[in-house]
Every structure is written in C-alpha cells, then in structure tokens.
Structure 1
Amino acid sequence: MTTTAPPSPPTGPHLRLRLAPDSPLPRRLDGVWWPRSYDLPAELPQLLAGLPRAWGHIAGVTVNGAAWSAAPDRMLVCDKVVRLRQVAARHAPGTIILLSPGHGRWDLLVVPPDTAEEDAGPLMTTALSARP
C-alpha cells in the first residue's frame, strides 16, 4: 500500500503590507496596507494573519464605511471574534484602525486596491517615512 501526502492547499496572494520600524517617537501611521479589493470580509483575514504577534489579538477594526463594501458587525477570523465598525471618517478616509485590548491601537494607511503597482510601492514607502 502506497500513501501519498495530501496536496498542499493553494497559497493565497502575497500580503501587501509594510509596517513602520519600531521607534520611540510618536507617528501618525503604523503601516501601509494595499488590499486587492474593498471586500473587507475577504481581505481582513489575510491582513490579521500577517500582523506581528506582539500586536496581540485584534478584537476591533474600524474602516471608512464609504470606501468598503458592506460587512457584518463582527466576523470570525482565525477562530477569534473581530468586531467591525464602518464609520464616515472624513478626517482619515483612507485608513484602517486596528484595536487590540491590552496591547494598543494601530493605524494603517490603505492604498486603494486599483492603484498601479508602480505607484503603490513608492506611495507605501513615502507614507512610512513621513513625520507626524
């Protein structure tokens, strides 16, 4: 009898995320995320799975409701409940806020999904080098 290993699950697309380097200085952005769509339930699991463990369990996510497609008020991600909040954020329409009780808050700039690759890379780098 011959046994073969089950086929490997297909790997998803590469997470397009850049985090700011650790610094004792305050900053406006903690990172830049370039999702592939505005479908939050589809995009969020990959983002949360790619975050540093030191950030803890992200229990709350706030996004600009005008930019993202409709989403439930909560969803299960990596076997943990994540509360989703969509607001009309005129002051920061292109950001996503991640909350982890006991660990902190992180603000990520969201690069629009339809941004060309040659524009997105420099934008991600420039956003993280800007001072508060």
Structure 2
Amino acid sequence: MTPPEVRTSVGWKEPPPQETPRLRLKPKGPVTGRVDGAWWPHSDDLEAEVPDLLAVLSVRLGPVRYVLYKMTEWVKTRTKMPIGERFVRLGGYERQPSNTVEVQGLNGKKVVLLVVPAATDPDRAHSIMMAAAAPDDTSTVDELLAVGHSS
C-alpha cells in the first residue's frame, strides 16, 4: 500500500501577482540542462520582484521556503519577507552561480532560473528566455546569455 501524499499547501494561498512576471519554464517532466527556465525581472530589487515570481512558481512548487541568489547581483535585501501568510527566506550567497536564482518549495521541489539582466534589450531577452525554456536545452548560463548577441 502506498503512503498518502503529504500536502504541505492545504489551507495556503499565494497572493496573486500584481504584475505578471516575465518568466518561461521548461515543461514539467524529466529534468534536462542546467536551468529550469528563465526570468527577466524589471529591476535589480529582489524584494520588489520576488512576490510576483513566487505567485506564479507556487503553482509548480507549492508554498516556497527559500529563494537563493547571488549577493552582488541584487540590491541589498532583508533575509525574510512575508508572502501571503508565510515568510520566505531570501539567501544571498557569493558562491551562488551568476545570473541564477534557486527557488525551493516546502515539499523539497526546486526550480533554478536563469536571470536575464533587467536592462537587456527586449528582443534579445525573449530569445534568451525561449532558449532556456526549450525542453532539451543543456546550455550553460553563459551560453544562454550569449543567445542573440551580435558579434
């Protein structure tokens, strides 16, 4: 007999996004590549950007526990912030791979996203995001950020 599924999200609701995040994810299924998709934030202010991102990612991950990011790529932020009825930990690390964020759910699931810099040209950002979300893409972060770059 299989044990019942643990449902950590019962009674929990994520607030809806104020602004739809610019996000592309690989389809659910077997994991391929170094990232699970790409996110193009509007600014380098993680506290301002993360609520809308988590509102969308909570559909895939359930309640979110942590957001890990590279310290030097975002303006200084607090270590915990309220999201709905919960607190989410924001962990800035020097060793976090550049241009990525890792979002971890309470259930152990995680998503690693390529972060397209906010000032990127829209056409180029779109190309990068589509490449990162391709189901069979195995490019490195640097290779993805070079997509659409004129030499």
Q: Normalised by the size of structure 1, how large is the TM-score? A: 0.83
Of 113, 118, 122, which residue of structure 1 is paired with 2:123? 118
Tell me the distance in 2 between the aligned counterparts of 1:47 and 1:12: 10
| 1:76 Cα deviation after fit | 0.3
Deviation at 1:58, TM superposition (A): 0.8
Match of 2:82 among 66, 70, 76: 76
Structure 1 position 54, deviation (Å)? 3.5
1:104 is displaced (CA, Å) by 1.2
Unaligned runs of 5+ in 1: 1-10
What is the SS of the residue equivalent to 1:49? Answer: helix
How many residue pairs match? The answer is 121
Asked whether the 8 Å contact 2:58–2:64 carries over to 1, the reply is no
2-side partners of 1:61 and 1:47: how far apart?
10
CA-atom RMSD in angstroms: 1.8
> Following the alignment from structure 2 to structure 1, what is the Cα–Cα distance between the partners of residues 46 and 115?
12
Counterpart residue number, 1:44 = 50
Deviations 1:77-112 (A, max 9, x none): 12210001101136x210000111224121011000
Q: What percent of counterpart residues are identical?
A: 32
Alignment of 1:23-34 (within 5 A): 23-34=29-40
Counterpart of 1:131 in structure 2 is: 138
Equivalent of residue 106 in structure 1, options 107, 111, 122: 111
Gaps of 5+ in 2: 1-16, 140-151
- Match of 1:84, SS state, is strand
Letter in 2 for 1:126: A
Residues 12 and 25 of structure 1: is their aligned pair in 2 closer, same or farther, counting only changes over 3 Å? closer
CA distance in 1, matches of 2:76, 2:115: 17
